[in-house]
Amino acid sequence: MTKKIEDILSYFDELLPDAKCELVYHQDFELLIAVILSAQTTDKKVNAVTPILFDKYPTISGLSNANLHDVEDIIKSIGLYHNKAKNIIEVAKVIHEKYHDQVPSSFEELCLLPGVGRKTANVVRAELFKIPAIAVDTHVERCAKRLCLAFQNDSPYEVEMKLEKIIPENRQILFHHQMIHFGRYHCLARNPNCAECALKKYCTLHKVKVEN
């Protein structure tokens, strides 16, 4: 592990020691649904609709038989709700019929579910099954590039591969949450709190070289 990575991990442990998933869920399938709903919107908005959704559909089988328009009406305050409503009903059907109400842990099986991509699959595997993974959302991607852990033109997949290579496996799940919180509350897209950041010397805003 390089001095740079040690410094980043140490600072995150000091700044964000208790970082964790901010999506509210009580059952495994609820997390999967919440992560699907969180695409291109905030966890706060998702947390505002999921209690209503899961109160009406407390089981995966119940959601699998839900009326599309009823689900749309519940989640209409979040972005892309037409497609998301359709996807979560289809996901519920697959999990109920193929996986006997159990969310699969396999990356490949998760990615075959409607509306599930690498980010969602990695979040579910890390959160539910404690499988080391780094899900790359807008916050993780932005912070990784600013900290020169990836190049500016890297795709989310390339960022994911680079982070998983340089961050020890036993730190990846916590690091993922810390990066999200760092980007969400400190290293904002606009007006980042650089004055109080201990990582300025590694930041692209301060013209340093990319970590190789």
Residues annotated as catalytic (active site), given as ranges = 119, 137
Question: Residue 58 is encoded by which pair of tokens?
Answer: 């407390």
Report helix, strand or coil for 26. Answer: coil
> What's the CA gap between 25 and 34, in Å, rounded?
8
Closest CA to 61 of 6, 106, 102: 102
Q: What is the Rg, in whole angstroms, of the alpha carbon atoms belonging to the chain?
A: 18
> What's the CA gap between 107 and 119, in Å, rounded?
10
Closest CA to 75 of 51, 92, 95, 91: 51
Determine the angle formed by the axes of helices 156-166 and 118-129, rounding to 10 degrees: 30
Q: How far is CA 171 from CA 17, 146, 175, 177, 179, in A?
A: 12, 20, 6, 10, 12
Report helix, strand or coil for 192. Answer: coil
Q: How far is CA 22 from CA 25, 57, 64, 171, in A?
A: 9, 21, 25, 19
